[in-house]
Amino acid sequence: MPRFPAPSVGPNRTGGAVWHVRALRASDRWRPTREAISRWLDTLGFESPRLVLVGASAGWMMSTEFLARFRFIEAIDIDPLARPLFGWRHGQRLRRAGTLVTWHRQDALLQLEALMARWPNAAWLFDNVLGQQIYRHHDLDAVEAALGGLARRLAGREWASIHDWLSGPAAPADVGAVLARPIERAVIEPRALRLNGQACSFEAAGEALLATLNAGGEWQDHRTARVFPPGTEVSLIPWEFLPGTWHWLQAGRAPG
């Protein structure tokens, strides 16, 4: 089955100091989306006491209350700033909860089978990392194939992901109203997405979501529409990433 290619040569376009500074400055603007993500995390009924958190970063959009459910967290990120900033945001409360966080600076997607063998009974959460793979590789078709094969590689495991699906310019007439709307929910079907009770192509579903934001200009498809296997219920969450730049996030837990 398709594997993730090695990152293309060149500067890393994800994470790093710019990302962390942006996240810190945008804390208030991101709060509604962070709260929506927290509500989604509350629905994840993982049974394992161990969580493998892939793309942990500083946990800017993570809920400490959710993380504190676990006895052990294996935090994985290639960013050297992730560990101290994650500790600053979540460390004290996790220590009080008795959660032991162990850090691993490596590329989890390239070493997935070895890590699954290391923690055979762990739950997995991919935190805003799968949608970033388009920025790490030149061959986007290979990335999409690898993303589409991820569910088969994780078969039999508890796993979930939240990731970018679409991103680009938009100018909603009422930003507050957009962010206050109930979360859109849909179900992945073999060749379509069932949105609002109607089956439609992923492309048509994306266009419908963009229309709710009064989107314009060129939008980026992060190639993640088919990450989850058929039957997965997904939450579709709007995120005002920058003023005038929005993302639609796709969040779901694979059935099984």
pLDDT tens, 46-84? 999 999 999 999 999 999 999 999 999 999 999 999 999
Domains: count for the chain: 1
Mention every residue, 6+ apart, whose C-beta is less than 8 A from residue 16.
Answer: 79, 81
Phi, psi of 83 (to 5 degrees): -60, -55
Tokens linked to 227: 């990450």
pLDDT at 196: 83
Which H or E element spans position 86? helix 82-86
pLDDT at 132: 93
Residue 3 belongs to some domain of the structure: no
Mean confidence (pLDDT) of the chain: 93
More confident residue, 14 or 251: 251
Residue 51 belongs to some domain of the structure: yes
Residue 7 belongs to some domain of the structure: no
Mean pLDDT of 121-125: 98
pLDDT at 16: 83
- Classify 97 as helix, strand or coil: helix
Q: How many helices (H) and strands (E) does the chain have?
A: 9, 11
148 and 223 Cβ atoms separated by less than 8 Å: no
Residue 99 belongs to some domain of the structure: yes
CB neighbourhood size of 139 (10 A) = 11
Mean pLDDT of 181-197: 90
Mean pLDDT of 101-119: 96
Report how far apart, in Å, the C-alpha atoms of 23 and of each of 54, 129, 216 are. Answer: 18, 15, 24
pLDDT at 189: 93
Residue 4 belongs to some domain of the structure: no
For the chain, the maximum distance between any two Cα atoms, rounded to a whole number of angstroms, is: 50
pLDDT tens, position by position, 6-32: 776 555 556 788 999 999 999 999 999
Residue 119 belongs to some domain of the structure: yes
Find the domain containing 98 and state its range: 16-253
Residue 6 belongs to some domain of the structure: no
pLDDT tops 80 at residue 227 = yes
Rounded to two decimals, what is the model's pTM? 0.94
- Judged on CB neighbours under 10 Å (0-12, 13-18, 19+), 177 is exposed
- Angle at CA of residue 238, ends 180 and 151, nearest 5°: 130
CATH number of the domain bearing residue 201: 3.40.50
Residue 5 belongs to some domain of the structure: no
Mean pLDDT of 221-238: 95
Return the closest-CA partner of residue 221 out of 202, 242, 195, 240. 202
- In this prediction, residue 230 has a pLDDT band, given cuts at 50, 70 and 90, of very high
pLDDT at 13: 58
Mention every residue, 6+ apart, whose C-beta is less than 8 A from residue 68.
Answer: 93, 94, 97, 99
CA count, 13 A, side-chain hemisphere, 256: 16
More confident residue, 93 or 197: 93
Q: How far is the first Cα of the chain from the last one, in angstroms, to the nearest whole number?
A: 20
90 and 62 Cβ atoms separated by less than 8 Å: yes
Phi, psi of 209 (to 5 degrees): -70, -40
- In this prediction, residue 134 has a pLDDT band, given cuts at 50, 70 and 90, of very high
Q: What is the DSSP letter of 190?
A: S
pLDDT at 70: 98
pLDDT at 6: 76
